[in-house]
Structure 1
């Protein structure tokens, strides 16, 4: 009955249809822009816009009968404006609408105006990736680094407003960080940021949601981009992509290859039970990352769209290290170890989706199926020499398989131009397996002997079932979005063949947002939501990592889920040249997960994971961007958090956060100068703290051939020889550990970028301006 009543609402709205024709040559005008604005006093701000199809036909569902202003236009034609009076429900056929060609040739048409880089809606903040951002980005992570409240740590992991557990989406579909790294930057159109996500997003998004929207061609033809970047220390970033539109088909393909080489030095000073111990290591690491994507979009009609995406990625990591261990125990000894550590991570990701748009384009029904599989082959081996004498070798390997299938469906219904509700269901099936073995080499017998104490199989199966409902109300003086999400989790982890700890939990997660505009450019938003963080396989796996002979790491299969409460008050200012976003927020977490390090009787450190008693965080974030005469573009990003952690008698509190500045300046002779500086503070640990890590870059580029070819030079991490230094200190009742890691991050790069085909972003830009102009009339 509910579905039947919904269909009656969807199909019994007033519908306006027609066909746009060339008045001089008597043929259809494809992709004309048709806009309707109500002139009724009660709904004078309401407007609806839509493109005609390739045959000039259009169909628009209206919220109600009444008087409307009709505006029709197309490139190369004179626009048409008229008034319509719709008296009855049902379909009104306008027949043929004829447009007169203009005397201006298409290549002479110039569009003036400026689309705001940032759009702040009640449910999200949208960062429209502008030309300068794309021109100065060599990887997709460079684009994300320029988005509001987004930063990256020293390993390239995304951080949103100081939090690391960020949910990543690509075109609304769940994605991995490896997939995002493989996206060509030129294909990114918008970045949607949800610091306090609503009920329509997974409850696992405790750190917020970032949704990357990629470009789609709207007209027949092709476009593409080729980029080649090479640099010192084998830092190369090459990619290419092509997008083709032909009739009802849209085909996109891309390939990315990134390589990176680092040399560095680690120094660890430990004191265990009052006895000092030092470890010095020289590291050489080599990383290679490849990503390929092929996507198809088929639109058989005006209302239906089918999508298929296939992705393959591979990651190879090789580490060679020479370590010297020295202590002052009795008797003292010096241990020299040569370590080989290769890792391979091949992965596959695929998705199929279908979307049906009803007569009102705001109403849609969608289905999607996703499959993600990642295999990790991790192996390391130690060759030891103790006090000048050869000693036993030690080797360990971990073969991990992660497989995830997702089934999801959602229904969006716009009751009218001011109200919308959305509902959906989701089912996630996760199968994880870790097969690990450890071996000790006997030099006398020249054989490898298994170590049963650190060998076994860990299986972790998880099913997540979710359903949600969300309602949005847009009034002139205030807007609101409220929702509720239910999620049930079935866990079935197994440790070898003797331990089975299956359990089922379920919870409700409310969310609400209230926005109050105080002027046409300023507004306040209050938000509250609840989220959940399920421990990952790395936290649960009881396998012991003994890569560091004096400090081992193991999981805890008894961990509970985290429950996060997030409240935020936000102020935003958006004018033609300035955007400001300032937020104050409070987060409190039940059963937060943290690492815990203890000293063993054998004189070694052992780290595992526990659920804390308390974790409270209060913070403030500020983002401001502005431009000066469209020549200088600047953005400043800052986050400061104060966190308190407590676990029984242990407690720790302190400040964390990040800060960054980005400047771009257009110079004469088609030159573009860009520089940025980012400082990332280490997260607060229960037993320690970390020193800040910084990244900076300076780029100069020049355009040729009307902007199709751009040549640039780039210097990363200017300054100290060891710009990539970061420091961590751990301290307990019986130990202290101070780690300093230095990496030679300074690199000089040169590259070129070439644009292929006809870029169609101008058309989208024009539609935005025309729609805005129509609303202001």
Structure 2
């Protein structure tokens, strides 16, 4: 009897063990577009046993198309792949316990659907907006208006992004974010990214990523997050490319060329562009009321002029001697030259409305901005796992900014200041070394790495007073500012059938050294920060998900903010940097619900808070009636936000898109004797629709509203905008000709900015061009056979705040 009981227990144990073992099988593979060998978007993979019994269904969330189906028995299954815009595909797979536990089915190639409509073949629309575990991506190539519009104009449609009437780009209502090109810093956007994006055809862009909870592999700079522009790089055996040219009634002429070449193991990508904008005149007026210690009113009326031209280029070369080794190198250059002019009449009245001072000024200035960068990467793969990589990277970047201003006065009444000239030569040299390692396993991906950034910045500025005998009498100062950042990171990504989680931390040590050579003044500072981040995505059924995220970000002061050069192109309104600025730490919490069936719907909530923030601070000196704009570490910021994104195909030829956000901002600051505070709502709304007609004709329309912007000391005003576009394809889509018109109802838009403090109130009215029209031509050539191989990791210096001086100052 004892032997029977013992035998029964052993049998039950063996059966349980065997059943557990049978449930350890899994299937993995990669789902790709059969024509382009690219990601198909989110879809559903259904698993059936014999007799058509459904076992489970999964929604892969990997952006490379990779999927894993776990907890399967050792038997034969039928897999059904259902992806929007693609033909359904079925595959029979057998898991054999005598072979590997995980069955790798390799690449699953899906064919795009083709529908016959009135003798016109229309390809099903691709998903334009996609919510991933830590970012939102916008598929620019799926937007028909990308054929006619610039990248800047397409950014209007991207969730969480706003572009105001002057072209200023904001992420989550903040100008404090980082811009990357293909995941790394680039000289193309080192200064005036709006002008570069305005000249860059959207047809050259693959997608736009908005990363609000950046993982640990990214540098921690950029309080609001990261804007990552992914360019088209369909490098193939042979060559292909495109030529683009456009004319805009406001922003002038621009042209660009994109070339891709691949010969065996060598690949080359080349991009070059140029543009020029003729001199433009705009009206300007300001009224400043001083309330203490005495009452006075300063009025400025006149006009501003500006013009610019640019040349930019980028070259990337890759060499793959075998499947486990990849060497890449790249170089970029950007030359941006601009001129500015101000002609103003200045009048100062006292409390009795009596004229106490008046004069006219004629200011001219120019700026030559040159940037260049060179980078090298070596990527080592491993035989045991094709997705395991070790990457070594180096990058050198150079920035030169030469400014010259000249101010002449006339018709002076009680104003005795001499004319003067200003010159500022600023340079920045940066060396970066980086190592990255990534190892994916069954359900976990491990990433780790280290980075060293060595920055050396200098500024040599001179003010020359023009005396009555035409001599020069002024002063100069030489400023040196070094910033070094040493960092280590480690992150993990867990993937299950319905849950994905990313978490990690980044350790950053920053050293700052400033030296005022002319005055023999120095300071040294060091900072150590641990920056955590965690984001997750939970699938709710087959067509919905919910995302949670928490992250911390750092705002380090840029050379523009710490440079003590006093810009006096407008002698009554000057700007100056503050070398005593220190970094700011920001906290961000967000939750997002997404539904993606026939269309896409996203609803999000977020909360941000920070202390000791770097704020613009405007002060007024009643002794000389000069207003100074500088920067101070004195603010506290809180922001609660809601955002909505909708993309829905009303039919096979009409698509509707809506993006909206609403924020409540609370700002406060305390100086030695003054407390500032401001709060209020701000937001934006944009709706767009595109209609694909027969014979390659596309028509688009968009309209929106950007509300006022809240700042520490004031606000500006909101405005409506609209745009209509049309394009036509020729010669089997090799040639596209299109155009658009924006805001035909008004030629100008007037920005009304209000600034208040304890002893003054300031109101500035500045015109911007509002109405514009453009025509664009794009020609594509070459063949597509196989994609280029690119490094999985590379240098992306995203740790410095994207902020440059106000172009109007």
TM-score, with length taken from structure 1? 0.83
Please provide the CA RMSD for this pair: 3.9
| Residue 322 of structure 2: aligned partner | 301
Distance 1:407 1:63, change over 3 A: farther
**Higher deviation after alignment, 554-563 or 431-440:** 554-563
One of 589, 594, 598 as aligned partner of 2:610: 589
Q: Secondary structure at the match of 1:148?
A: coil
- CA-to-partner distance for each residue in 1:554-596, whole Å, 9 max, x for gaps? 22222221110111111111112x2111111111101111122
Deviation of 1:478 after TM superposition, in Å, equals: 2.8
Deviation of 1:515 after TM superposition, in Å, equals: 2.5
One of 247, 270, 275 as aligned partner of 2:288: 270
One of 423, 427, 436 as aligned partner of 2:448: 423
Deviation of 1:374 after TM superposition, in Å, equals: 1.4
| Residue 54 of structure 1: aligned partner | none
One of 479, 487, 500 as aligned partner of 1:458: 479
Deviation of 1:156 after TM superposition, in Å, equals: 3.3
CA contact (8 A) 2:535 2:548 kept: yes
CA contact (8 A) 1:70 1:84 kept: no
Say whether 1:395 aligns with 2:409.
no
What is the CA–CA distance in structure 2 between the aligned matches of 1:752 and 1:551, rounded to whole Å?
A: 43
What is the CA–CA distance in structure 2 between the aligned matches of 1:214 and 1:245, rounded to whole Å?
A: 17
| Residue 692 of structure 2: aligned partner | 666
One of 258, 261, 266 as aligned partner of 1:249: 266
Distance 1:268 1:668, change over 3 A: same
**Aligned pairs (5 A) from 1:458-607:** 458-497=479-518, 498-576=520-598, 578-600=599-621, 601-607=623-629
Structure 2 alignment gaps of length 5 or more: 1-25, 30-35, 40-44, 80-88, 108-120, 790-809
Say whether 1:380 aligns with 2:398.
no
| Residue 738 of structure 1: aligned partner | 763
Say whether 1:127 aligns with 2:153.
no
- CA-to-partner distance for each residue in 1:474-499, whole Å, 9 max, x for gaps? 22343322111111101011223422
Distance 1:694 1:492, change over 3 A: farther
What is the CA–CA distance in structure 1 between the aligned matches of 2:661 and 2:60, rounded to whole Å?
A: 38
What is the CA–CA distance in structure 2 between the aligned matches of 1:63 and 1:310, rounded to whole Å?
A: 48
- CA-to-partner distance for each residue in 1:688-732, whole Å, 9 max, x for gaps? 111125553322222222222122222233221213x21111111
Deviation of 1:310 after TM superposition, in Å, equals: 1.2
| Residue 343 of structure 1: aligned partner | 367
Distance 1:467 1:446, change over 3 A: same
One of 216, 221, 237 as aligned partner of 1:199: 216
CA contact (8 A) 2:148 2:727 kept: no
| Residue 202 of structure 2: aligned partner | 185
Q: Secondary structure at the match of 1:552?
A: strand
What is the CA–CA distance in structure 2 between the aligned matches of 1:174 and 1:682, rounded to whole Å?
A: 31
| Residue 214 of structure 1: aligned partner | 231
| Residue 615 of structure 1: aligned partner | 637
CA contact (8 A) 2:148 2:726 kept: no
CA contact (8 A) 1:189 1:214 kept: yes
Distance 1:760 1:712, change over 3 A: farther
CA contact (8 A) 1:118 1:125 kept: yes
What is the CA–CA distance in structure 2 between the aligned matches of 1:698 and 1:681, rounded to whole Å?
A: 21
What is the CA–CA distance in structure 2 between the aligned matches of 1:349 and 1:64, rounded to whole Å?
A: 51
What is the CA–CA distance in structure 2 between the aligned matches of 1:114 and 1:285, rounded to whole Å?
A: 42
CA contact (8 A) 1:38 1:66 kept: no
Q: Secondary structure at the match of 1:130?
A: helix
| Residue 642 of structure 1: aligned partner | 664
Q: Secondary structure at the match of 1:525?
A: strand
Deviation of 1:218 after TM superposition, in Å, equals: 5.5
| Residue 680 of structure 1: aligned partner | 706
Q: Secondary structure at the match of 1:362?
A: strand
CA contact (8 A) 2:146 2:201 kept: no
Deviation of 1:358 after TM superposition, in Å, equals: 2.8
Distance 1:70 1:183, change over 3 A: farther
One of 285, 308, 318 as aligned partner of 1:287: 308
Deviation of 1:761 after TM superposition, in Å, equals: 9.9
What is the CA–CA distance in structure 2 between the aligned matches of 1:654 and 1:136, rounded to whole Å?
A: 38
**Higher deviation after alignment, 434-443 or 188-197:** 188-197
What is the CA–CA distance in structure 2 between the aligned matches of 1:225 and 1:381, rounded to whole Å?
A: 43
What is the CA–CA distance in structure 2 between the aligned matches of 1:233 and 1:379, rounded to whole Å?
A: 25
Deviation of 1:89 after TM superposition, in Å, equals: 6.6
One of 608, 618, 631 as aligned partner of 2:653: 631
Distance 1:126 1:739, change over 3 A: same
Q: Secondary structure at the match of 1:718?
A: coil
CA contact (8 A) 1:318 1:343 kept: yes
What is the CA–CA distance in structure 2 between the aligned matches of 1:50 and 1:559, rounded to whole Å?
A: 39
Q: Secondary structure at the match of 1:145?
A: helix
One of 391, 403, 408 as aligned partner of 1:366: 391
Q: Secondary structure at the match of 1:267?
A: strand
**Higher deviation after alignment, 288-297 or 461-470:** 288-297
CA contact (8 A) 1:384 1:390 kept: no
CA contact (8 A) 2:729 2:736 kept: yes
Deviation of 1:80 after TM superposition, in Å, equals: 9.3
What is the CA–CA distance in structure 2 between the aligned matches of 1:394 and 1:38, rounded to whole Å?
A: 78
CA contact (8 A) 1:244 1:250 kept: yes
Deviation of 1:222 after TM superposition, in Å, equals: 1.7
Say whether 1:712 aligns with 2:738.
yes
Distance 1:501 1:133, change over 3 A: farther
Deviation of 1:93 after TM superposition, in Å, equals: 13
Q: Secondary structure at the match of 1:502?
A: strand
Deviation of 1:763 after TM superposition, in Å, equals: 13
What is the CA–CA distance in structure 1 between the aligned matches of 2:554 and 2:62, rounded to whole Å?
A: 39
What is the CA–CA distance in structure 1 between the aligned matches of 2:403 and 2:626, rounded to whole Å?
A: 23
Deviation of 1:423 after TM superposition, in Å, equals: 1.1
| Residue 165 of structure 1: aligned partner | 176
Say whether 1:149 aligns with 2:192.
no
CA contact (8 A) 2:348 2:356 kept: yes
| Residue 74 of structure 1: aligned partner | none
What is the CA–CA distance in structure 2 between the aligned matches of 1:325 and 1:240, rounded to whole Å?
A: 47
CA contact (8 A) 1:323 1:338 kept: yes
Deviation of 1:534 after TM superposition, in Å, equals: 0.8
What is the CA–CA distance in structure 2 between the aligned matches of 1:374 and 1:512, rounded to whole Å?
A: 34
What is the CA–CA distance in structure 2 between the aligned matches of 1:218 and 1:333, rounded to whole Å?
A: 65
Distance 1:88 1:700, change over 3 A: closer
Q: Secondary structure at the match of 1:173?
A: coil
TM-score, with length taken from structure 2? 0.79
What is the CA–CA distance in structure 1 between the aligned matches of 2:104 and 2:406, rounded to whole Å?
A: 76
- CA-to-partner distance for each residue in 1:731-751, whole Å, 9 max, x for gaps? 112111100101234222223
What is the CA–CA distance in structure 2 between the aligned matches of 1:467 and 1:752, rounded to whole Å?
A: 46
CA contact (8 A) 1:263 1:744 kept: no
**Aligned pairs (5 A) from 1:28-107:** 83=94, 85=96, 87=98
One of 371, 378, 381 as aligned partner of 1:354: 378
CA contact (8 A) 1:37 1:69 kept: no
Say whether 1:721 aligns with 2:747.
yes
